[in-house]
Amino acid sequence: MARHVLVSALLAIVVAGCGAASQANPNDGVVHVATTTNFITDLAHRIGGDRVDVEGLMGPGVDPHLYKASANDVSTLADAELVLYGGLELEGKMGDVLEKLDRRKPTVAVTRDMPRDRLRAEPGYEDRPDPHVWFDVDLWRSAARTTAEALVEVDPAGRATYKRNLRAYDRRLRTLDAEARERIATIPEGRRVLVTSHDAFHYFGARYDIDVVAIQGVSTATEATTADVERVAKLIADRGVRSVFVESSVPPQTIEAVLASARRQGATATVGGELFADAAGDDGTPEGTYEGMIRHNLDAIVEGLR
């Protein structure tokens, strides 16, 4: 808590002190963009191309629900000309910081323009949004458009470049969306059940027609209860689920507890591989990009369930 207060105070000083943040890096010819999760970093690179310098705060394996801005992050945010974040309460502990930034510089949630009727609520909490929109690839196309618009606003001279990059990336996303649909459809319908540790895959399930069952809530801030573990274990036994999945940004203990209980009820389910949920993989690997992360998950799910 004390650290959080310190960061807020630092942010107040930094943003008050330097006025227009674009003055921090004058005349170096690129737009300085700060991003939160690493797949938003990837998005900024895809749309911004050579005109942007992107600094992402959260690397691979980082849980955005629990992430708090460090003093170093605060100066990165203060130096940026544009801040891109997920929104819908994804960065649950950065709300104050983002709100303060928004008064000083363009601070844009990439989910800003998504059609409200495509957004989901957290299961059991009608007033809480489910922020995991990136697992509906078609919806992520909206994030790409919003990113392009935000870049045009801070750098109107780059309009043609951003529009061109958007068109090219949008084609790739449409291909990826179709690919996801085709691949999930190869799993026999009765086996289309995705059991994971935290509730990140409802957009994926709705878009690609697979049932989603999670042990933990949408935010990893709440821990799974014994009742959660027993509920999911029973479902695994009843439906004959063969594989359950662990996530790169969540500790695997809860899944293991579920599997142990399911086996006591006669199930033979095993761990079907790791899924990327709230963070893409390492920089420089195929899974380090948004597209690579989705494809990795498709491979793991199809292999585990078919």
Least distance CB 162 / Zn ion (angstroms): 29
Least distance CB 14 / Zn ion (angstroms): 29
Residues within window 241-280 making contact with Zn ion, judged by CB under 5 A: 278
Among the residue ranges 168-176, 182-190, 198-206, 229-237, the one whose residues contact Zn ion (CB under 5 A): 198-206
Least distance CB 280 / Zn ion (angstroms): 13
- What are residue 274's DSSP bridge partners? 246
In the complex with Zn ion, which residue's Cβ is closer, 53 or 122?
122
Among the residue ranges 94-102, 104-112, 169-177, 197-205, the one whose residues contact Zn ion (CB under 5 A): 197-205
The count of residues interacting with Zn ion (CB under 5 A) is 2
In the complex with Zn ion, which residue's Cβ is closer, 53 or 91?
91
Q: What letter does residue 248 receive in the DSSP assignment?
A: T
Concatenated DSSP letters of the chain: -HHHHHHHHHHHHHHHHHSSGGGGSTTSSSEEEEESSHHHHHHHHHHHGGGEEEEES--TT--TTT----HHHHHHHHH-SEEEE--TTSSTT-HHHHHHHHTTS-EEETTTTS-GGG--EETTEEEEE---GGGSHHHHHHHHHHHHHHHHHH-GGGHHHHHHHHHHHHHHHHHHHHHHHHHHHTS-GGG-EEEESSS--HHHHHHHT-EEEESS-SSTTSPPPHHHHHHHHHHHHHHT--EEEEETTS-THHHHHHHHHHHHTT---EEEEEE--SS---TTSGGGSHHHHHHHHHHHHHHHH-
In the complex with Zn ion, which residue's Cβ is closer, 53 or 278?
278
Least distance CB 65 / Zn ion (angstroms): 6
Least distance CB 218 / Zn ion (angstroms): 6
Among the residue ranges 36-44, 53-61, 153-161, 194-202, the one whose residues contact Zn ion (CB under 5 A): 194-202
Residues within window 200-239 making contact with Zn ion, judged by CB under 5 A: 200
Least distance CB 285 / Zn ion (angstroms): 21
In the complex with Zn ion, which residue's Cβ is closer, 162 or 276?
276
**Beta strands 107-109; 121-122: pairing state:** unpaired
In the complex with Zn ion, which residue's Cβ is closer, 31 or 218?
218
Least distance CB 37 / Zn ion (angstroms): 10
Q: Is 53 in the site for Zn ion (CB under 5 A)?
A: no
In the complex with Zn ion, which residue's Cβ is closer, 52 or 200?
200
In the complex with Zn ion, which residue's Cβ is closer, 259 or 277?
277
- Alpha-carbon distance values, 298 to 1, 202, 254 (Å): 39, 15, 22
In the complex with Zn ion, which residue's Cβ is closer, 200 or 294?
200
Least distance CB 61 / Zn ion (angstroms): 13
Of 3, 34, 54, the C-alpha closest to 101 is 34
Least distance CB 144 / Zn ion (angstroms): 20
User: Are the CB atoms for 210 and 202 separated by under 8 Å?
Assistant: no
Among the residue ranges 14-22, 79-87, 199-207, 295-303, the one whose residues contact Zn ion (CB under 5 A): 199-207
Beta strands in 225-268 (DSSP E): 243-247
In the complex with Zn ion, which residue's Cβ is closer, 91 or 278?
278
Which residues contribute to the site for Zn ion (CB under 5 A)?
Answer: 200, 278
